[in-house]
């Protein structure tokens, strides 16, 4: 059992609300966390067809079978449960009664917002993050006899954050991810959209992987896959709702510059990303032309996990002008006040590597940037500017980006 960063916020929510809803992609550890958090609670999963059918047809009888507190796994398969839970909660508003989990945000969040508004806390569990792994007693890995902070990052690029890869290091990565993608396609995607050609959808997944860290053009994506732009947009929205990818929106409060308005696409898990890109060995990543995009995906996704694990909506943006000036990541601390992050794969960087920061500060004022970090492969942080605003930092560790934001 990994100690999950979200646990403290989960305890707080459980003590205040009758219903806690935990969302997240399949295999990120929702069930493990729920059963560890409530070891004596009644438990039922709607992944079992007979249970889902009873919950759908006779929801009140189904709920009557289970004493509270109760954990209901994959609750999106029985939408009729939400109305009945609302009735029960309205009669008894004690906190800590229903712990619901789900991995399909389309149907799940629609029913939660319609039936349980004001009665529930909604938390989002991402895959394991680097800070969580750094605190865990990991078993020996086949590719690394001992893990330093740097080698943990390299392993993480290859394995990603699904707990199963770290509990069972000898898993066949390609076989596991191949099965994960197939199961996801067959079950989750077809439950949301009527997709006739799964081969096209698989091509879309791989095309998105090659666009990680880039601005998303639905027209170009559709052209490469051989589908319509509307179909591409619909499929991307399913991937986003199922926590396979996320879109980073541009910061576009207009001042003097012409700004880009398209989002950038990132994968929630770097293991899945590098699998879809076709890497077969961990050592292939650092020497590949796409290493910069993979590193940026890692940095942005790990910062995003920090906010999700604290129960917060990630206040993250990127900034880019039509002239090509860009800041990879803006973390908004207050209106027009940011921590900025640039992503570089080098171990040694200089202030010139952050050239577009000057343009950003000229646009929004020197006070708009509280701190500016270059997240790179250095082992120790070091200053880049005399005023102390800009520093080169590692990704993980106490003096890394993840320890400072």
DSSP secondary structure of 165-226: HHHSTT--HHHHHHHHHHHIIIIIIHHHS--S-HHHHHHHHHHHHTTTTSB--HHHHHHHHT
Q: How many domains does the chain have?
A: 2
**374 inside domain:** yes
Q: What is the pLDDT of residue 215?
A: 96
Place of tokens 């577009």: 356
Q: Does one domain contain both 213 and 236?
A: yes
Q: What is the CATH number of the domain that holds 65?
A: 3.40.50.300
**1 inside domain:** no
Query: Of 124, 151, 183, which one is at a domain's C-terminal end?
Result: 124
Q: Does one domain contain both 155 and 104?
A: no
Q: How far, in whole angstroms, is CA 131 from its chain's centroid?
A: 15
Q: Which domain holds residue 338?
A: 130-405
Q: Does one domain contain both 266 and 373?
A: yes
The neighbouring-strand residues paired with 375 are 343, 393
Q: What is the C-alpha to C-alpha distance for residues 215 and 178, in angstroms, rounded to an integer?
A: 27
Q: Does one domain contain both 106 and 135?
A: no
Q: Does one domain contain both 283 and 208?
A: yes
Q: What is the C-alpha to C-alpha distance for residues 139 and 134, in angstroms, rounded to an integer?
A: 12
**214 inside domain:** yes
Q: Does one domain contain both 64 and 185?
A: no
**323 inside domain:** yes
Q: Which residues contact 2 (CB under 8 A, 6 or more apart)?
A: 29, 128, 132, 133, 136, 163, 166
Q: What is the pLDDT of residue 247?
A: 97
Query: Of 96, 124, 152, which one is at a domain's C-terminal end?
Result: 124
- pLDDT by residue for the chain (405 residues), tens only, comes to 799 999 999 999 999 999 999 999 999 999 999 999 999 999 999 989 999 999 999 999 999 999 999 999 999 888 889 999 999 999 999 999 999 998 866 566 666 666 677 788 999 999 999 999 988 888 877 766 567 777 889 899 999 999 999 999 889 999 999 999 988 766 667 666 766 677 888 899 999 999 999 999 999 999 999 999 999 998 898 899 889 999 999 997 766 566 778 999 999 999 999 999 999 888 899 999 999 999 999 999 999 999 999 999 999 999 998 888 899 999 999 988 999 999 999 999 998 888 889 899 988 988 999 999 999 999 999 999 988 899 999 999 888 999 998
Q: Does one domain contain both 156 and 103?
A: no
Q: Does one domain contain both 339 and 383?
A: yes
Q: Does one domain contain both 20 and 84?
A: yes
**350 inside domain:** yes
Greatest alpha-carbon pair distance for the chain in Å reads: 68
Q: Does one domain contain both 84 and 174?
A: no
Q: What is the pLDDT of residue 104?
A: 66
Q: What is the C-alpha to C-alpha distance for residues 102 and 23, in angstroms, rounded to an integer?
A: 5
Q: What is the C-alpha to C-alpha distance for residues 152 and 134, in angstroms, rounded to an integer?
A: 8
Q: Is 203 exposed, middle or buried (0-12, 13-18, 19+ CB in 10 A)?
A: middle
**206 inside domain:** yes
**2 inside domain:** no
311-316 long-range CB contacts below 8 Å, 24 or more apart?
311/6, 311/9, 311/13, 311/121, 311/123, 316/248
Q: What is the C-alpha to C-alpha distance for residues 24 and 185, in angstroms, rounded to an integer?
A: 16
Q: What is the C-alpha to C-alpha distance for residues 16 and 83, in angstroms, rounded to an integer?
A: 20
**108 inside domain:** yes
Query: Of 67, 91, 124, which one is at a domain's C-terminal end?
Result: 124
Q: What is the pLDDT of residue 336?
A: 87
Q: Does one domain contain both 118 and 162?
A: no
Which whole-number Å values give the CA distances from 74 to 33, 55, 383, in the listed order? 14, 12, 48
Q: Does one domain contain both 190 and 331?
A: yes
Q: Is-contact 396 147, C-beta < 8 A?
A: no
């Amino acid at each position: 059992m990994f100690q999950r960063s979200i646990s403290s916020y989960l305890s707080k929510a459980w003590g205040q609300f009758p219903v806690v809803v935990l969302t997240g992609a399949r295999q990120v550890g929702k069930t493990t966390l729920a059963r560890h958090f409530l070891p004596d609670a009644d438990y039922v999963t709607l992944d079992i067809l007979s249970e889902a059918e009873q919950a759908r047809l006779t929801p009140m009888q189904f709920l009557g079978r289970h004493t509270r507190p109760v954990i209901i796994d994959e609750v999106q398969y029985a939408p009729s449960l939400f109305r009945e839970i609302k009735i029960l909660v309205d009669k008894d508003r004690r906190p800590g009664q229903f712990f619901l989990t789900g991995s399909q945000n389309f149907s799940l969040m629609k029913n939660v917002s319609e039936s349980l508004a004001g009665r529930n806390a909604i938390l989002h569990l991402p895959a394991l993050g680097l800070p969580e792994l750094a605190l865990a007693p990991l078993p020996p890995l086949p590719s690394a006899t001992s893990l330093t902070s740097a080698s943990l990052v390299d392993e993480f690029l290859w394995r990603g954050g699904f707990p199963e890869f770290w509990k069972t290091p000898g898993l066949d990565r390609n076989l596991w991810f191949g099965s994960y993608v197939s199961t996801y396609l067959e079950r989750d995607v077809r439950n949301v959209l009527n997709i006739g050609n799964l081969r096209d959808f698989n091509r879309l997944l791989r095309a998105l992987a090659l666009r990680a860290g880039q601005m998303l053009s639905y027209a170009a994506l559709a052209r490469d896959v051989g589908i319509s732009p509307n179909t591409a947009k619909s499929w991307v929205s399913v991937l986003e709702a199922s926590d396979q990818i996320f879109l980073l929106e541009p910061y576009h409060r207009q001042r003097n510059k012409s700004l880009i308005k398209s989002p950038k696409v990132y994968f929630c898990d770097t293991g899945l990303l590098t699998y879809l890109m076709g890497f077969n060995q961990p050592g292939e990543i650092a020497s590949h032309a796409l290493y910069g995009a993979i590193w940026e995906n890692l940095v942005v996704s790990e910062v995003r996990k920090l906010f999700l694990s604290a129960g917060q909506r990630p206040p993250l943006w990127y900034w880019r002008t039509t002239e090509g000036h860009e800041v990879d990541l803006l973390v908004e601390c207050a209106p027009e006040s940011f921590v900025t992050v640039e992503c570089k794969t080098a171990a040694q960087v200089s202030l010139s590597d952050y050239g577009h920061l000057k343009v950003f500060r000229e646009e929004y004022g020197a006070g708009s940037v509280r701190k500016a970090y270059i997240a790179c492969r250095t082992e120790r942080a070091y200053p880049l500017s005399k005023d102390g605003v800009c520093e080169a930092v590692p990704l993980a560790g106490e003096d890394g980006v993840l320890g400072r934001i």
